[in-house]
């Protein structure tokens, strides 16, 4: 019997993941919040809101707005909704046997109500063992998968057999996959790189050039390493693709919503105005507040994270804050 996959979410990442899974499986159940979106996929074979160029084989993709049904029909669940909405979607949700499912998170953000990474949230809320929880990370943008450009994914899970199963399910001619055991490091790094991308966007918006960006991002990977090592002190190579590669693509790519959000802030937009202008969620906005809360316990020096927090939450001028930050970088 083939593995049955469930994809939870209707955004770019959910769309790309549903497509990737359907390349290798005819049992992909896809939850979309809006019934109109379900009807659109069934009629026109593409998402009406995101990555409209991606066409689905309806013999392999089974869209539904019934979350409970999708969960029950799936052996492996992939959660690909913005972190800000995780609590709203799953608050009070209960399905018998959920703790026996395999769950992979493609959220790349913090659940703000708990200041918690998604792996911890699903472990605590639904008693899913960490050994059955995995993370899907880059370096990768959904938009480039839609364009069928060569892309790389890292599948992290404490159980390497599960990680390899998911790697095989997502692999395709234009998608290369690898595995890792570092679920906490991979997830926290994926969260923090969004904060660093906002910083990169702010600096670009202020007129800083490539030379400064190089210094900023080289300091950013050190900051990520210091925090990740404090939270989860195991051996890892942060210069590998799952960490440094994911940071680079998020900090530099035109597809990066976090960089775009930061660019708007650097150009003088207020936080509210930038959020209204963007059609997608910039995960780093919520993440920076939660990382600052988490760091009250670990007390790691996080100058870039702190600067972004001051700009977004304390409304300190980006010009002033980045001017202070530049003297702390080396």
Yes or no: say if 107 and 100 are a contact pair by the CB < 8 Å rule. Answer: no
For 225, the enclosing helix (H) or strand (E) is helix 210-231
Yes or no: say if 177 and 165 are a contact pair by the CB < 8 Å rule. Answer: no
Nearest Cα to 262, choosing from 311, 225, 214, 227?
A: 311
CA atoms of 269 and 166, how far apart (whole Å)? 40
193 is catalytic: yes
Nearest Cα to 275, choosing from 258, 261, 288?
A: 261
Nearest Cα to 99, choosing from 63, 131, 136?
A: 131
Given the residues 42, 176, 193, 267, the one annotated as active site: 193
Name every residue whose Cβ is closer than 8 Å to that of residue 299 and which is 6 or more positions away in sequence.
Answer: none
Yes or no: say if 108 and 282 are a contact pair by the CB < 8 Å rule. Answer: no
Catalytically annotated residues: 193
């Amino acid at each position: 019997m083939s593995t049955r996959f469930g994809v939870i979410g209707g955004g770019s990442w959910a769309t790309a993941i549903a497509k990737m899974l359907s390349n290798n499986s005819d049992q992909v159940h896809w939850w979309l919040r809006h019934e109109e979106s379900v009807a659109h996929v069934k009629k026109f074979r593409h998402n009406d809101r995101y990555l409209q160029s991606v066409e689905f084989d309806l013999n392999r993709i089974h869209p539904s707005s019934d979350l409970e049904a999708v969960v029950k029909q799936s052996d492996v669940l992939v959660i690909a909704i913005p972190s800000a909405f995780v609590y709203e979607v799953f608050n009070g949700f209960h399905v018998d046997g959920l703790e026996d499912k395999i769950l992979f998170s493609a959220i790349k953000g913090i659940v703000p109500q708990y200041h918690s990474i998604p792996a911890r949230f699903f472990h605590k809320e639904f008693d899913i063992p960490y050994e059955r929880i995995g993370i899907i990370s880059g370096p990768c943008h959904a938009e480039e998968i839609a364009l069928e450009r060569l892309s790389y994914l890292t599948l992290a899970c404490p159980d390497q057999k599960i990680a390899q199963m998911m790697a095989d399910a997502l692999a395709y001619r234009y998608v290369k996959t690898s595995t890792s055991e570092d679920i906490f490091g991979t997830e926290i790094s994926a969260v923090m790189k969004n904060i660093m991308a906002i910083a990169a966007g702010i600096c670009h918006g202020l007129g800083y050039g490539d030379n400064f960006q190089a210094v900023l991002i080289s300091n950013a990977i050190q900051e990520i390493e210091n925090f990740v090592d404090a939270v989860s002190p195991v051996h890892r190579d942060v210069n590998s693709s799952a960490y440094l590669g994911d940071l680079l693509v998020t900090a530099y790519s035109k597809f990066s919503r976090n960089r775009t959000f930061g660019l708007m802030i650097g150009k003088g937009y207020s936080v509210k105005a930038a959020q209204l202008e963007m059609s997608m969620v910039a995960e780093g906005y919520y993440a920076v507040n939660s990382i600052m809360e988490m760091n009250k316990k670990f007390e790691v020096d996080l100058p870039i994270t702190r600067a972004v927090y001051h700009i977004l939450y304390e409304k300190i001028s980006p010009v002033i804050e980045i001017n202070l930050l530049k003297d702390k970088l080396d």
